[in-house]
Structure 1
C-alpha cells in the first residue's frame, strides 16, 4: 500500500499536507501525533471511509484490508456472532457467494468457490470468531449489539477485524476497553501473525513490543523512524536537536548577511547577485520557530490535612458476584495508589463507593474535612454537542488560581490546555475524542482538588499529553487513586497497587505494575511446576461414532458444514465426560446422592450422544 502527496483540510484548518509513505509486507507501523492533528482522519482515508483534498492512496490489487474504528457501529438487530460476520471483507463476500450458488444449485460456481473458501480458511471462520471472542471475554454470542456497552462493542469490532486475518490490519486505539491481561494477549496474537499493521494507540508498551516502525505527523509533515517506540524517542530528540542547531547557525549567518546587505549599494554588480537572492531564504530559515506545544497543568492544589479517609469492613456484592469482602484500609497523606484487575472485577464500583456515588452493603467510610475530590470518570463528562468550549469552562469559573497564586481567565486556562483562541469558540461536536478528553481533564483540575481519583484517564489522550500528565501526577502534593490499563502510565505514577481478582479479595502489592507482573509470572510458573508433579495424564476416551475417511463438501451449505464440524468436536467431548462419570461411579467413594446425580447425568449424556451421532450421520451422507 502506498500513500502519495496526501493533503487533507477542514475549511481553513490543514491537518496534513503532501505526506507520503508506504506499508510493505510484514511492516508494523505505529502512527503518533497530537490530538486533533488528523490521526483518525488519516486512518479513515486509507480505509476508504473519508475523502481527501489531493494525492492518492494505492493498494496492491489482491490486498485484503481490515479496519478497527475508534468508535465502531453495527446495524441494530445483529447478534454478537453475526456482527463478526458483518462487513465487506473477502471471506464474508466469498461465503455469501457460496450460499447464493447453493441456492441456485450452480454446480460450476460451487466448485470454484469451494477452492476459494479452502484457500481463505472460511470453513474455520466461526470457530476462530468464538475463540477470539472468548479471549476478549464476550461470552453471550446471541446478545444483540444494541444492548452492548461501548467497551463490549469495541471488543466485538476488534474480534471482527482479527478473525479475517487480513493482509493489512488498521487499528485505531485497539487497547481502549481492554484490561491488562487482554492487552498482553493481543500483543502475543499480533506478534504471531504475518499481517502488516498500521495502528494508532496511546499504549507505549504496546507500541514498543508490536511495532517495528513509527511515523509521526508534526506540523503537517510526516517523519518516519525505522524502529520501535524507544528508538523513536531517541531519534526524534536527535532530529529536534539538529533542527535547533540548524536554526542557530542560520541566525548567525543571517546577522552577517544583513550587515553585508545594509552596507552594500543596491546597484552592486551581478557578480554577487546570488548572495542577495539567497538572503531571503536565509532569513526564512533563521526565523523558523519550532512549535513544541504541551499542556500546562499548573493549577493550584488546596491544602490537605493529615486525616484523609478510612474504610472499615466494606462489603459489596451484585447477586453472586462479590466486589468487596470485609475490606478495610487507612489512606495516608500523599499516597499514590494504582488499582488493577480484569474487566468486571469491580474497580469502578469500588471507586464510586469511596466517593459516595455507590452504597456499600455494609461497612463505613470516614473522610477528612480538608479532602477535596477531583473525579475523572471512565465515561467522561457528557458535553452538549452544540455547546462551545469556552462556555463549558466559564460555566464552572470565570477565573482560575494557579499554583503560584496568580489568577488567569478561563480563556487563558484553555490556551494552556492547547485550545487556541479560535478553537475555544468551536462547538464540542467538532472536537476529536482526545480533545474532548483534554477538555474534561481541564474541568476537573480547575476546581483545585487535593485528592484526584482518575478512572481510565489515558483513553484517547495523545502521548505528549500523557507525558505531561505523568509529570504532573508524580509531583502532585495531594493524594491519588488511578485505575488504568495503561501499563506505562501505571509504572510512572503509582507507588503501590490494589489488585482485584473478582472474588472480593483485594491484594495490596508494594511495587509497580511491572514488578507485579514479574511476581505473578513467577507464582504461575511455580504453581504449574507443582501441578505437573502431582497430576497424572488422563486417558483419552474412545469415540463410538465411525467417521468416513473423506467427506464430500460440495452439497453442504456453509451452515451445515459448520454444524458438521461442531458435531465432530462435541461428540468426543460428551463421550469423554460419560467415561469419566462411569469411572467415578465405580470408585466406591460416592454417597448415595452423588451416585443418583451422576447416574441421571449419564442417562442425559447417552440421549444427547445418540441425537448428535444421528445428526452427524445425516450430514455425512450428504
Structure 2
C-alpha cells in the first residue's frame, strides 16, 4: 500500500467536513473524487498530500513513495522563471533528464515563454505551470485538484492521453466526466462527512449509487413496516398484551429511535426568461485586433432564437473576446453587431465578480428581488437559495465563508434569476460540482432562449450544443454542425485529408550498392554556421528579456516584447533541434 489514511476528521467552525473517514491508495490505482461544492473534496486531497493536518486520525505515506500534489490555486514567489519553477527541487541528475520533457509539456500546455518570471503569469498560466511541474517530477502518486481548469480543449485531450498511460497511482478531484469515464477505476464520493466508494468508472458509479439509494429506501420501507406492527402491539391494552416479553418493547423503542436515510435536497431549476422577439443578435463582418494581433476576422453570425452554440479554440485565441463583443462590453474594430430590442443578455463570466465577503448570502440574492417569479410560481429569496442547494444555515452566513465552488453557484443563481433570454456562458463548468452541472444541463434543455458557451468540458459541449464555432489562430471562425465529438471527428478527417493530398516524392530507382551518407551543400554550410546562429539568437533573447524589465510599465511595448520573445524562443527551439540532427548526421558520416 502506497498511502493510507485512517479515521480522518476535519472540521471548520461548526461544520464537520470529514468524520472518521478512511482512504487507501495502492499501486496502479486511478481514483476519482467527487461530491458537492463545499463537501470537503479539496480538504481530503490536502490531508492526503500532507499540506494540511487532520483534527483527528493519521495519514501514512510509505517512506519510499514519492508524491506530487497539484492544488487548485498554486502560489509562486517572484524571482523564478517558468522553467526554473517547473524544475524546482530536482537534483542535478533528475534535472538534466527532466528539462527536455519540461519544455515539451509546457509547450503542450500553451506556455512558451520559459524565461518569463512566474510572478507575471495569469491565474490560468500559473495552474498550467504547476501542472507541468507535477508531471515532470518523478513520482509514484499524483494528487490533482481540478487539473482540467484553465486548459483548452486540445490541452484536455492531451492530458487525458497522458494520464491514461501514467503508470503510477492517481487521485484526482475533477468535474470532467469523460476523465472519470475513461481514466479512473474507482470513484469516491464525499457526502455528509463520509466517503462512499464505488468500484469502476463514472458509468459504473451511476449504476452503483442508484442501486445503493434504492437499497437504503427498501431497508427504510421494511423498518417502517415492522415499526407499524410493533406500534399496533404496543398500543393494545395490558390485558391483550398479557405478560408478553420486555424484549419486544425494547425492540420497538430501538426501531423508533433509528433514523432512515435522509432525503437529499436536489437542485431543481425552472427555466426563466423574458420574451425574445424575432430579432436577436447579428454579427456582420466583425473584426477585432489587439495591437498587431488579429483575434477575430470577418466573422458573420445570425444568432437563432433557440440556438445552442459552443465556442472552442486555443487559450488566448479570442473565445472570450467574442462573448464580450456579443455582450457589448467590447466594440468591434470592423463590421457591425446588431442587437434586437427585446434581447436581454445574461453573462456568466469565467471569473466570479468581486463579492463583498461581509454580505450575507441571502442579502446578495435579495438585491435581485425579495420575491422572484418563476414558471412554477413566486419564490422568496430563501426558497430560491434552497433550490440552489443553499440550506438555511448557509443562507445567513457571510459570503466569505463559502467555498470557491459555492460562490460560483451563487453567481450562477444571480445570472439565471435575472431572466435573460440570451445566455452567454464563459467556462461555466469551472469549479462547479457534477450535480450542479447536470442540473444546469437540464435547465438549458428547457431554456427558451439562445445559449452561447465557451467551454473546455467535452461532455458539457456534447450534452448541450448543436453547433460548434472553432476560433482559428488567424482569427477566422469556422462552424461545425453537432457537438464536440462530431466537431473533433470532422476536424481530424480534415487533417487526414490534407496529409493525403500532399504529393509523395517520386521513388528513385534502387541502387545496387548502398549509398554513402554525406552533407548536401546547404547542410554543410548550415553545419558550419549553426553554432554562431544559436549564439546570436540567445543574445537577442537576452536583449528582449532585459528590455521587458526596462519597459515594465509600458503595456503596449511589453506586449510587443513578449510576442518577440515567443518568436525568438520558437526559433531557438527549432535551431536546437536542427543542431542535434546535423551533429548526429556528422557522427554517422564520420563512422562510414
Matched, 1:81 2:77: no
Paired with 1:541 and 1:485, the residues of 2 have a C-alpha distance of 48
Superposition deviation, residue 417 in structure 1: 1.3
* Structure 2 residues not aligned, in runs of 5+: 509-514, 534-570, 584-592
Paired with 1:573 and 1:279, the residues of 2 have a C-alpha distance of 97
Equivalent residues in 2 for 1:162-561 (5 A)? 162-263=135-236, 265=238, 272-285=245-258, 287-298=259-270, 300-404=272-376, 406-531=377-502, 533-534=504-505
Superposition deviation, residue 521 in structure 1: 2.1
Superposition deviation, residue 243 in structure 1: 1.1
TM-score (norm 1): 0.80
Residue 2 of structure 1 is aligned with which of 1, 4, 10? Answer: 4
CA distance change for structure 1 residues 261 and 71 in 2, over 3 Å: closer, same or farther? Answer: same
Superposition deviation, residue 152 in structure 1: 0.4
Superposition RMSD on alpha carbons, in Å? 2.9
Paired with 2:154 and 2:419, the residues of 1 have a C-alpha distance of 35
Paired with 1:374 and 1:151, the residues of 2 have a C-alpha distance of 24
Paired with 1:445 and 1:381, the residues of 2 have a C-alpha distance of 15
Superposition deviation, residue 85 in structure 1: 2.7
Corresponding pairs, count: 528
Superposition deviation, residue 535 in structure 1: 8.6
Please identify, of 265-274 and 35-44, the stretch whose mean Cα deviation from structure 2 is larger: 265-274
Deviations 1:151-193 (A, max 9, x none): 1010000001110131000000000000111011011111222
SS of match in other structure, 2:245? helix
Superposition deviation, residue 240 in structure 1: 0.9
Superposition deviation, residue 206 in structure 1: 1.2
* Structure 1 residues not aligned, in runs of 5+: 96-116, 545-570, 582-600, 614-622
SS of match in other structure, 1:181? helix
Paired with 1:83 and 1:270, the residues of 2 have a C-alpha distance of 80
Superposition deviation, residue 208 in structure 1: 1.0
Residue 153 of structure 1 is aligned with which of 105, 111, 126? Answer: 126
Paired with 1:281 and 1:166, the residues of 2 have a C-alpha distance of 51
Residue 15 of structure 1 is aligned with which of 10, 14, 17? Answer: 17
SS of match in other structure, 2:375? coil
Superposition deviation, residue 127 in structure 1: 1.7
Superposition deviation, residue 578 in structure 1: 6.5
Please identify, of 266-275 and 386-395, the stretch whose mean Cα deviation from structure 2 is larger: 266-275
CA distance change for structure 1 residues 63 and 532 in 2, over 3 Å: closer, same or farther? Answer: farther
Superposition deviation, residue 388 in structure 1: 2.3
Report if the CA contact (8 A) 1:542-1:575 is conserved: no
Paired with 1:573 and 1:214, the residues of 2 have a C-alpha distance of 59
TM-score (norm 2): 0.84
Superposition deviation, residue 390 in structure 1: 2.1
Report if the CA contact (8 A) 1:2-1:23 is conserved: yes
Report if the CA contact (8 A) 1:9-1:16 is conserved: yes
CA distance change for structure 1 residues 462 and 543 in 2, over 3 Å: closer, same or farther? Answer: farther
Superposition deviation, residue 522 in structure 1: 2.4
